[in-house]
Amino acid sequence: MFKKVIIGTLATGIMLSGAGGVFAETPTDTGVKLKTIDNKKSFVKKKETQDFPGYKSKGEIPTVKEWNGVTWYLKGATEVSKNSWTGHYEGWRTSNN
């Protein structure tokens, strides 16, 4: 009986001290992130993918590309036909919420 009281008291102390955050579950990446800036406006960052075709060789494909207000990062490449490659990119688009 005394052992249960000690364990219960210890558990209550941990939760009240704020250490309960250590035991909280970490959310998984859903591809959408919410940011709050000092002016209290919220911005949503959404992960997008984009293919850019027309490269003559794999070595010609840039690892980072700026297009349509997004910085795109190369994630892979596919040879579509002889001397024709497509770069597969991933980027984050920010919009006001």
Give the integer Cα–Cα distance in Å for 48 and 63: 16
Mean pLDDT of 20-42: 57
Question: What's the pLDDT at 89?
Answer: 97
Q: What pLDDT, in 10s, does the model give residues 39-63?
A: 666 778 899 999 999 999 999 999 9
Tokens of 54: 């027309």
Per-residue pLDDT at 97 exceeds 50: yes
Q: Enter the pTM of the model.
A: 0.55
Mean local confidence (pLDDT), 33-44: 65
What CA–CA distance (Å, rounded) separates 20 from 88? 42
List strands edge to edge, sheet with 32-36.
32-36, 42-55, 84-96, 70-81, 64-67
